Chains A and B, each alone.
Chain A
């Protein structure tokens, strides 16, 4: 059964810092991995999707990497801004439906 773990659970940084969010998964037989953003009480906004054959994807200040063999992904956020404050969710698509981690709640202070 696929398990997805995200570390840290919460992170507070000052504006301008670069930061890394971590995601690990137990079953490497995946189709893709998606990173989502969730604002409090709101829906899920897709940020990046990495296919199982890819190593990384970039969108603006975001860069996601995937190491399928070790069951790890990272989301790198460059030059963080207060507007980046949200919960970031990692989700893995494999033989079963998309499985989510609990998320990392990021707070960026100005």
Chain B
């Protein structure tokens, strides 16, 4: 069964550094998402992406964040200047829009640790 693939599985970075989290969504999917989960807290929506542009974003997704689909297969989340509070598990997800029965497919996540 096709999967959403995320790399790396764990990234450690110093405060103030830029990080790029990478995702390969399922190939025929059209909607792409980033979510994050701070340790012990709920999974939170960051941003959705469709037709090469952001379709929705949460208040968490400020100017420090950006997303890009640089080619036909990758979907990236960039954090420009990381803060300690950016430490979290980041999940990528993709969706093929087929009505109410369309499930969101998640990757296994990238654990980001900011020191």
Q: Is the CB of B109 within 8 A of A99?
A: no
Contact residues on A (Cβ < 8 Å of other chain), bracket:
20 to 34
A43 near B: Cβ within 8 Å?
yes
Q: Does A23 contact B (CB under 8 A)?
A: no
State whether B42 touches A103 (Cβ < 8 A). Answer: yes
Task: Knowing A96-B56, A97-B48, A97-B56 are in contact, say whether A44-B103 is a contact too (CB < 8 A).
Answer: no
- One of B45, B91, B100, B102 near A96 (C-beta < 8 A): B45
**Is A102 in the interface zone, CB < 8 Å from B?**
yes
Residue of A nearest to B103 (CB): A49
Q: Which residue of A lies closest to B55 (CB)?
A: A97
Interface residues of A in 26-85 (CB under 8 A from B): 31-32, 34, 36, 41-44, 46, 49, 51-53
Mark each residue of chain A from 73 to 110: 1 if its CB lies under 8 Å from any CB of chain B, else 0. 00000000000000001010100111111110000000
B106 touches A97 (CB 8 A): no
**Contact size range, B:** 20 to 34
Residues of A contacting B102 in the complex (Cβ-Cβ under 8 angstroms)? 32
Whether A100 lies near B42 (C-beta < 8 A) is yes
Asked if B13 lies at the interface with its beta carbon under 8 angstroms from chain A, I say no
Separation in Å of the B25 CB from the closest CB of chain A?
Answer: 14
* Chain B contact residues, CB within 8 Å of chain A: 33, 35, 41-45, 48, 56, 58, 89, 91, 93, 99-109, 111
